[in-house]
Structure formats: structure tokens, C-alpha cells
Structure 1
């Protein structure tokens, strides 16, 4: 009865289009829809019924025949525009379920054919719910942003360097300027950091770090830096070596911060 009501309200496209629909789609966990470029729905599988929360026991209910009814309003024009170009593509689309909850989907839009008589292009949409994965991505981005904001505010310098006496920097966090007085671009790929270690401390810094790197342990350093304004800053450093699978030393990474003592 559900199918009959659907067909009465929205007749099927041409027989050649109907052949694009397979009974196997009913076993898919992904939503599968047959639509035209105006987002009229012609066929749908059980996953679609479950998503929009149609009650299987209530035969008076039928799925909304206009797919745009379920598409997040800001995405409707964009998606219709894309379906006016006969090219298979992958899209990210926001859909609202029958309880008005927002979901993110990866949509594979597979072009079927053009019906010039009715000026319609038909598409098979396979929609995979990616809501949990995308929520996790957003959470990771938010956490990373919070960490970056924290590192910008604190006088802490994270670094990755080559294992040479110049401590040639391959990466430094923005806190480097609070520590050294030099911007990141001035420190990267130059011998500058090694040159601003106080000459009386340079030998000990090298010896202690190299002993720890050979032992594959953390090293802890206290030494003096000559900042860009020529003032002396006492700093602490915690670092460790970076190694290849064959135990080759690839570099050094660590954190440098003012010595509170």
C-alpha cells in the first residue's frame, strides 16, 4: 500500500529509468534514492524510510516526495546546481531527519540519463551517513585550535631541529618570539638558535643532549640564551631524539621555556 500511494502521487519515470533501480538497494545500509535535478524522488530504499522516521505500521503515511524538504536549507541551491551538470561526483550534504536532527552525508551522485521530452536528468544518489566521523573531526579541530591558542599565549617554544651543534630548526611554534625575540621565519633552517646559546653554556648543552640521545632518554637542560635585544634569558629545555626504524637519529624535538628559578 505504501508503494502504491507513492506511485500514485509521483509516477515513475520512463521504463528505461526504472531499470536503473535494483531490489538489492533495499538491503543497503546507505540511503539510495532515484531523483531528478529538481530533487523530486522517484524511488527510495528502506534506509530512507528509517532515516525520515516513517512508521511502517501506518500505511497512510508516505515519504515526502521532494528531497529538498529534507536537505538543510543552505545546501539546497548548491546541490540543485550540481545536479544540473551530468557528471558523477561526490558531495558532502547536510540532511534533516524526521525528528529535525541534523546529519552529515557523503553523497555519491551517479548520473543515469536525460529525458529531453520532460527536460529532466535522472540521478541515483547513494548517501552514507558520516555524522559521527565529522563530529569527531570538528572536535579534533576545536581541540587543536584551543591548543594553538594556548601556545600562542604562553612563553613556550615547541621545536623540532636537526641534531647538529647549530640546532638548525625545522619547526618552531609561535612562542619562539617570546623566548628568543626572533620570529619563526628567522629561526627556521638557519644556525641562529645555536648562535644565541650563551658561549659558556654551549658545550654542556651539546654534551648533555647527545648523551641522552644515545641512551634514547629525555634530556633536561638549564642554560642561557642571548635574546634579539641582547638581554640574557635563563631557560629550561626538555627534549628527546627522533629515530628511524634502524635507530638512526633523524632529529630532536622538545620544549623550551623560561627558567622560573
Structure 2
């Protein structure tokens, strides 16, 4: 990517972010919704699943962060499809900018929003009683892993956005896919409490693996295996869906 393309991408990413100033509801999915999930899971299920909400929070917070991260990737697809449907991309094409800058700018902006959501959940979790059991390096590694995985998975949402006709269809596809893989996982409960057939799925579910990796980096525990597997899942998603998304983008724009 040339210097001009990088500058174009940064400008369009800023365009997406500055919209929050005029429409604060843009941050709803990245702020209010994560807080609601955190409070509900901690105080509704915490006492039933663990000895206390605080003890459950130690286990569940990394999983809640992962769940929110995956659902937040839908915003990339919804935003892109909305811009295309409203003709924003047609207007941008008339400008002397790199062709893929609008696509790249949207993705970069949403990664920044995801970083905000991860920091918000971790900060609120610490207020509620979560304690980091590792050091600054591990915490930064957890942020990098989570955001890198979110970036890779967001290309799936981009592909769907390029193939369907409305933002609502992006959301429907996302919920149909994301609900099973987030809840049928070890994000919220240990997988050894599940029936054998479901545990077999949860053990290889990337949501479980990423939650275990984040749990190890933030609270302590096994790290190498879950981190390596998470990187492999993320790389696989990127290799498969990024080229398909670019191909679909070229056909549509």
C-alpha cells in the first residue's frame, strides 16, 4: 500500500470515528451493550454457576470480552453495507483516492472501536472485582491477540456485506452464526460440565480457544497452546475471507 493509500485510509477511518461526535448512538454496541452483558452474566448467573459473582467474574470476564469482540465484527459489515446502499461509496469513487481506502478505513475504525470496548470491559471488570494475575506484557499481548483475531474475523462480516442487499441481512447472518459458536463454548462455563457431544464441539470452538488464551494472559494459566491455536484460527480466517471479500468488493463497487 502506497503512502497516499495509507493517508486515504487514515482519513476515511477518521471520518467513521468522528461520526460518533454527531451520533453518540454509534458507540452503543461498543459501550452499553458490553456493560449490560457483563452485569447480567456476573450478577444473574454468577451466584448459580460459581460460589459468588466475584469468583465467576474471574472466569467469565475474558469470555465476555471475546463474545463482545465477535459480535462487534458485525458492525463492520453492517456499516459497509449501509454506506454502499446509501451511495456513499459511489461518491467516494469520484474522488482521487485509492480504490480500497473506503473498505480499509472502515475496518481500521472498527478495530479502534473494538479496542475501546475491550478496555471498557476490562476496566469495569476490575471495578467489580476482577483482578489481573499477570504482568503488563501479558495484558498487552492479550489486547494484541484479541484485536488481531477480531480484525481477521471481521473479514467474514465484510464478505457477507458485499453479498447481501441490506444491513439487516448482515445482522441476521451474524446472529445465526455467532450465537451458537459463542454460547456453545467455554467462554462462560467450563466445557467439562457439558454433555460429551457438545463438549467435543466446544473443545475445538475458536471462541473457547480464544477465551482460554485471554484467560491465561489476564488471570494466569496455560497460555502457549491456546494462543498458538487462536493465532492459527485467526490466520485461517484472514487467508480465506480477506481474498474473497476483496473479490466480492471489486464485483460490487
Q: Which has the larger radius of gyration?
A: 1
Could you tell me the TM-score, scaled by structure 2's length? 0.22
Greater helix fraction, Structure 1 or Structure 2: 2
Could you tell me the TM-score, scaled by structure 1's length? 0.21
Greater strand fraction, Structure 1 or Structure 2: 1
Report 1 or 2 for greater relative contact order, CA contacts < 8 Å, sequence distance ≥ 6: 2
